[in-house]
Structure 1
Amino acid sequence: MSVSTDPTASPEWEQARIEWYGQTKGDLQRLQEAVNAATPGSLPLDAIYAPMHDMAGLAGVLGYPLLGNIARGMIETLRKGANPLDDRMLMVAKAHLAALVALHAKDVRGEGGPAGVAVLAKLASIHA
């Protein structure tokens, strides 16, 4: 009988998480700067979609499902809005990026507990 090992406990997995975390910090800073500097109609969705799509997919796998859920909520909302981003979609992007930057800086892993639920609920309220 073979023993199954958890790949997420391996040094390689931890190294991948560390590399992703570092890259994501730069991506979030760059995106937040771009969104904060944008005026309505000046920022195409493509400028932020790919890195947020990557975060939505990888964050949960690497132990940050709350970040992934926020990124997913952001891209799902932005896809339904104006492209280039209008005033409302810029506000949505700014709110999501502010949450992502703050949570990333605090290295919030997992679902974030009750605070994570509250953040997701607050962000969902601006989608309506």
Structure 2
Amino acid sequence: DPVAIGHDAIDWGADIVIGNHPHWYQGIEIYHGKLITYAHGNFVFDQMWSEETREGVIGTYTFNGKQLVGATWKAYRIYDYGQPVFMNAKDSATALQTMEAASDQLATRLHEPTTSPIPAMPPAPVYAPEHAPA
């Protein structure tokens, strides 16, 4: 379960979690004041028969020390069996709206993550993780 893994990583001390594995981009979540990006999608891939696996996002994450102060995403489409090209404005807006809609499925969500940098995030709450890594 990617959500449980992301939450555990934050609980165990991660400042940010950038997931990977799904062949398409997925939503984002703020959990205990920390950002989880569940997947960026493929970057260089050869499944030209599937539109979903040909689209992805590149995340830019800006830190001040360990504090995440901004995050933006730029959408692209893969052409010619492995050549990513940034999408035009219309297609990019559609892709980023899809990513935002996926974020709405999460318990904690970041509104309009794709249109502007996120504001300075609050510090994580002080708490003890339920489980520590072995």
TM range (shorter): under 0.3
TM-score using structure 2 length: 0.27
TM-score using structure 1 length: 0.28
More strand by share: 2
